[in-house]
Every structure is written in structure tokens, then in C-alpha cells.
């Protein structure tokens, strides 16, 4: 069996750990197509937060308490940059993480595409799934906000990390998406998949930028594989993170139904056949989409693997 997962960072990484665990029991192959909209160049380094979250988590090297970056991280480089008064000082750049960004940036500067760089980094971390960026092209999420009495577009990282999403927010723009091509291997993986899963990642700033790559979205929407999504919202809570702020900013309800409404039914130009909601959201109805209510708290790998089993059952592909 071949499983493709559309994934953001921390939530996607946790989900993928469960996918990997369940896939091992089936002898299935997993390909993760990961958001690059958060990517940013800082201090001359190319930083890919979501790819790194997935790579470190599946490689067993992530910091489970902080949620992002490396366990046992130190911050000497960040402190030294601050001592020089170099901005941006609000960005958490760990020392171990910096080595990853140095390797990535050197390879990119030498002409390798991000997909090849990701494969090279994964040779060390052995995530046990194939990690593909959604695109090798520049695709950055910018946020139109009011700041200092002025309407401006700022990079998603500045909105998220510096301002904690706490600004009057009007819309999200996926800069470069119109011309972005899916990375090598992405369309083949989707077309060869037995099932496509949408991780319980942030729908607005993790999954939407992936689906903003036109050919990728078309492959998911019109491909042969059934598509099942997992709600990142339980009740009216984003569990962890700021999906509630993002949903509110795009005028969507903060609920499992609200997220499914953004994705839409495959029978109606959207991307979903099935939608898993939490047990507490039983009774959620989404036009043209089959829903099922099961526990959606990713408390540990077993609980998450059980979610994945339910998702495959809903897709009708559990071997």
C-alpha cells in the first residue's frame, strides 16, 4: 500500500509518527508532502520550519516540550547575534539547528533543488518516510496586517513568532504559488497512492499553501486515490498552536465543520472524500463528505496510529 500525507510542521509531524507506525504493520510506503510556505531566509540562512519539524520528529531528535527544533539545543549563536544588535532578534535560531540551515543553504547555493537537499539531510535522520517539499520553487506565506497604523504584508514567520498572530489580520497570500511547480516525485506519489491523508495540520497556513500549487491540488482533487482529512480542531479548540486565529482571519468557523468547509468535497471541486472528527464532535455534517467520529488527541504514537487506522478504514483501503 502507498500512503501520501499532506503535512505542516509540528501537528503534521506527530501525525506522521502515527502513520509510520501503522504503515509498518501493513508494510506500506509513506510519502509526506510538506508545506514550504513558512520557509524564510534569515541571517543568510534558508530555514524550512515544517520540513525540519517533520525530519527531526521522525528522526527522534526533536524537542517534545518546545515542540519545534532540536532536543538539547543551545543558543550561543542567537545570543552572539543579539550582542551585535543584529535583527531579527525575535527568531529562535538554535546552534544545532543552525548547522542544518548551513548545510541546506550551502547546497541550495550550489544549485541543488530543495527536494534534493531534503533527501540529503534525511540521509542522516532516516525518518522512515519519503519527505518531499510541496515545491522546489519559492512559495512564501505572507500576511496582510495593520501594524503601526499602516496596512502591510509581512512574512508569516514575523506574524507568527514576533506578533503571535496578535495584529488585525486581513488575509494570507501565498507569494509565488501561481508559478510554483510541484517538486519532483510529488505528482507521481499522489497518482500512485492508494490513499491521500490530510494531516491535522493548520488548514490556513500549512495545508492551504500546499494546495496552492495548482497541479498538486488538481492531482489530489481529481486523482484516483480517496482523500481523507483529519480535523485539527477539537470542539472549538486548536489543541495546540494558533489555527483558531488563522481560521478567524479567513472568516471560517473554528470547528471541525469549519475546516472541512474550507477543504470542500471532492464531488464539488474540493479535496475531501472523508473527514475524521473527534468523538466529542460526533454528528458533524459536511456536504458531500463522509464523516466519522473517533478520538483525535495525539497523546502518543499508539493513539495516533489508531487515528490513522480509522482514516484508512474510512477511505476503504485498510488491508
User: Residue numbers of the site for ligand GDP (CB under 6 A)?
Assistant: 8-12, 50, 53, 199-202, 206, 231-234, 238-241, 243, 296-298
At its nearest, how many Å lie between ligand GDP and the CB of residue 18?
A: 10
Q: Closest separation between CB of residue 231 and ligand GDP, Å? A: 6
| Closest listed residue to residue 258, CA positions, set 239, 243, 269 | 243
The torsion defined by the Cα of 305, 311, 315 and 319, in degrees rounded to 10, comes to: 20
Answer for the pair 103, 116: CB distance below 8 angstroms, yes or no. Answer: no
The secondary structure element, H or E, covering residue 194 is: none
Least distance CB 160 / ligand GDP (angstroms): 8
Q: Minimal distance in Å, beta carbon 122 to ligand GDP?
A: 18
Q: Which spans of this chain sit near Ca ion (rule: CB under 5 A)?
A: 8-9, 38, 50
Per the rule left: phi > 0, alpha: psi between -120 and 50, beta: everything else, 279 is alpha
Alpha carbons 274 and 260: distance in angstroms, whole number = 9
Relative orientation angle of helices 114-125 and 95-109, to the nearest 10 degrees: 140
Nearer to ligand GDP, 81 or 197 (CB): 197
Closer residue to ligand GDP (CB): 232 or 261: 232
Q: What does 10 bind: ligand GDP, Ca ion, none (CB cut-off 5 to 8 Å by kind)?
A: ligand GDP
Which CB atom, from 9 or from 258, has the smaller least distance to Ca ion? 9
Nearer to Ca ion, 23 or 199 (CB): 199
In whole angstroms, what is the distance from residue 229 CA to residue 125 CA?
A: 27
Question: Would you say the C-alpha torsion 262, 264, 268, 270 has a positive or negative sign?
Answer: positive
Nearest approach, Cβ of residue 221 and Ca ion (Å): 23
CB of 15 to ligand GDP, least distance (A): 7
Q: Which is nearer to ligand GDP, 81 or 227 (CB)?
A: 227
Instruction: Using DSSP bridges, classify how beta strands 150-155 and 140-147 pair: parallel, antiparallel or unpaired.
Output: antiparallel
Report in angstroms how near the CB of residue 163 gets to Ca ion at its nearest.
16
> Parallel, antiparallel, or unpaired for β 169-175 and 140-147?
antiparallel
> What does the alpha-carbon distance between residue 51 and residue 271 come to, in Å, rounded to a whole number?
23
Give whichever of 143 and 286 is closer to Ca ion, judged by the CB atom: 143
Residue 81 or 311 with smaller CB distance to ligand GDP = 311
How many Cβ atoms from other residues are within 10 Å of residue 86's Cβ? Answer: 11
If contact means CB under 5 to 8 A according to the sort of partner, which of Ca ion, ligand GDP, none does residue 232 touch? ligand GDP
Name the grid cell of 185.
516525485
- Which residue in the block uniquely carries the three cell numbers 464531488? 267
> Residue 196: what are its φ and ψ, rounded to 5°?
-115, 125
Name the residue with the smallest CB distance to ligand GDP: 11
Classify residue 149 as left (phi > 0), alpha (psi -120 to 50) or beta.
left
Cα dihedral 66→71→77→78 (10° resolution): 0
| Nearer to ligand GDP among residue 38 and residue 273 (C-beta) | 38
What's the closest the beta carbon of residue 18 comes to Ca ion, in angstroms? 18
Amino acid at each position: 500500500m502507498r500512503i501520501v500525507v499532506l503535512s505542516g510542521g509540528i501537528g503534521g509531524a506527530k501525525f506522521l509518527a502515527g502513520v509510520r507506525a501503522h504503515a509498518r504493520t501493513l508494510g506500506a510506503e509513506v510519502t509526506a508532502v510538506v508545506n514550504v510556505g513558512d520557509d524564510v531566509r534569515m541571517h543568510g540562512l534558508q530555514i524550512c520550519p515544517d520540513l525540519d519539524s517533520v525530519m527531526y520528529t521522525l528522526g527522534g531528535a526533536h524537542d517534545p516540550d518546545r515542540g519545534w527544533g532540536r532536543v538539547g539545543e543551545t543558543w550561543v549563536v542567537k545570543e552572539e547575534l543579539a550582542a551585535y544588535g543584529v535583527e531579527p532578534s525575535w527568531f529562535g535560531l538554535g546552534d544545532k539547528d543552525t548547522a542544518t540551515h548551513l548545510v541546506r543553504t550551502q547546497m541550495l547555493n550550489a544549485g541543488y533543488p530543495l527536494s534534493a537537499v531534503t533527501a540529503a539531510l534525511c540521509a542522516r535522520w532516516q525518518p522512515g518516510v519519503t519527505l518531499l517539499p510541496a515545491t522546489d520553487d519559492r512559495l512564501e506565506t505572507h500576511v496582510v496586517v495593520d501594524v503601526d497604523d499602516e496596512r502591510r504584508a509581512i512574512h508569516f514567520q514575523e506574524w507568527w513568532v514576533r506578533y503571535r498572530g496578535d495584529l488585525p489580520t486581513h488575509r494570507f497570500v501565498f507569494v509565488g504559488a501561481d508559478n510554483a511547480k510541484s517538486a519532483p516525485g510529488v505528482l507521481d506519489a499522489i497518482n500512485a497512492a492508494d490513499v491521500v491523508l490530510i494531516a491535522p495540520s493548520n488548514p490556513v497556513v500549512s495545508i492551504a499553501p500546499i494546495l496552492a500549487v495548482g497541479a498538486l491540488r488538481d492531482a489530489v482533487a481529481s486523482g484516483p486515490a480517496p482523500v481523507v482529512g483529519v480535523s485539527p480542531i477539537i470542539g472549538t479548540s486548536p489543541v495546540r498552536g494558533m489555527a483558531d486565529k488563522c481560521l478567524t482571519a479567513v472568516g471560517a468557523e473554528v470547528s471541525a465543520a469549519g475546516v472541512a468547509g474550507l477543504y470542500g468535497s471532492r464531488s464539488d471541486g474540493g479535496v475531501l472524500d472523508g473527514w475524521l472528527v473527534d468523538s466529542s464532535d460526533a454528528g458533524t455534517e459536511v456536504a458531500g463528505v463522509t464523516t466519522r467520529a473517533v478520538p483525535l488527541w495525539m497523546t502518543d504514537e499508539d493513539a495516533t496510529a489508531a487515528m490513522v487506522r480509522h482514516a484508512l478504514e474510512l477511505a476503504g483501503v485498510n488491508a
